[in-house]
Structure 1
């Protein structure tokens, strides 16, 4: 399954390069838009990090390429729902 392979590759890349532990990783099925390329939504969580991270990757990327893409991801804005 693609999720398992991406998760294993992502764990090895981040441990080797950044020593960041990945807790979970989910990869969506390919989504076809009415225009443009087919994509996948990737969502992952890191240990000791509250919000999950998400990015969109082209659907034609291999498992290893998705893991490299996610490992090179730079987080942008963070939206957190606050309970008051």
Structure 2
């Protein structure tokens, strides 16, 4: 799978003591996805999780000139 961009957060401590990271990416079609992974996940484990991700709601960004108009716009973080 080819992606346009990917961002991995710093480890986030949860109130119940477990640590996780948020992984966000945009694929070549402009679809935004995110997933939580364990805080100790390796780069290889994160790559595999992104590659296997199929479930969830999909969003398309409108900032790409190649994207057709008429779709909702996501706020930039």
Compute the RMSD of aligned alpha carbons: 2.0
Higher relative contact order (CA 8 A, sep 6+): 1
- Confirm whether residue 64 of structure 1 aligns to residue 28 of structure 2: no
- Structure 2 partner of 1:55: 35
Verify: 1:43 aligned to 2:24, yes or no: yes
**Which structure would you say has the larger Rg?**
2
TM-score (norm 1): 0.64
Q: Could you tell me whether the CA contact under 8 Å between 1:53 and 1:75 is conserved in 2?
A: no
User: What residue ranges of structure 1 are gaps of 5+ in the alignment?
Assistant: 1-13, 15-20
Deviation for aligned residue 1:36? 4.4
The CA deviation string for residues 17-63 of structure 1, in whole angstroms up to 9 with x for no partner, is: xxxx21100000000011142000000011123x3110000011111
Which structure 2 segments of 5+ residues have no match? 61-70
Structure 1 runs (4+) deviating above 2 angstroms are 77-83
Alignment of 1:3-82 (within 5 A): 14=1, 21-49=2-30, 51-78=31-58, 82=72
Q: How many residues align?
A: 63
Alignment TM-score, normalising by the size of structure 2: 0.69
